[in-house]
């Protein structure tokens, strides 16, 4: 029963992160992230340019601009500016974290990461697992319209 309850919560928060990703102006990939602690959303983020920059994420040749912030980095820096602590929180992110975001996740004290799809480079997840952070892939099965954990 408790496992089903956790799956239900995880699938809801991941769907919310997917909706939040729609706020991104990036054309190549829109990524959303939510930081949740004690069943409360304490921060959110999506990939995009820093405050004050134009909302264009890609160069003319369709490469991502080097200063674009990832969804996880935006969520972590946003919580750092608040009165909330990410210590022990769960991060829900639509795409698995890169190595740079994984370092931030470790330093922020996040204990669990739930993501929807793997990024093509998996070194970020490898680092998180090495740090003892619980990493879970959650996929939506179109055939039965349910979410399922994928063992990592």
Residues identified as active-site: 72
| Rg, the chain, Cα only | 15
CB count in 10 Å sphere of residue 64: 15
Nearest one of 103, 109, 75 to 89, comparing CA atoms = 109
What is d(CA 7, CA 9) in angstroms, rounded to the nearest whole number? 5
Indicate the DSSP class of residue 98.
-
Structure-token match 């090495």, residue found: 130
């Amino acid at each position: 029963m408790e496992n089903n309850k956790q799956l239900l919560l995880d699938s809801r928060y991941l769907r919310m992160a997917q909706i939040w990703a729609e706020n991104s102006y990036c054309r190549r990939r829109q990524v959303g992230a939510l930081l949740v602690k004690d069943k409360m959303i304490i921060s959110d983020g999506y990939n995009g340019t820093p405050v004050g920059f134009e909302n264009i994420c890609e160069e003319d040749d369709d490469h991502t601009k080097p200063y674009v912030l990832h969804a996880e980095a935006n969520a972590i820096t946003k919580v750092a500016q608040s009165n909330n602590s990410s210590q022990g929180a769960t991060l829900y992110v639509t795409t698995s974290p890169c190595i740079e975001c994984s370092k931030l996740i470790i330093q922020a004290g996040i204990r669990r990461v739930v993501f929807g799809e793997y990024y093509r480079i998996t070194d970020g997840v490898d680092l998180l697992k090495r740090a003892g952070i619980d990493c879970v892939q959650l996929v939506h099965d179109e055939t039965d319209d349910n979410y399922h954990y994928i063992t990592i």
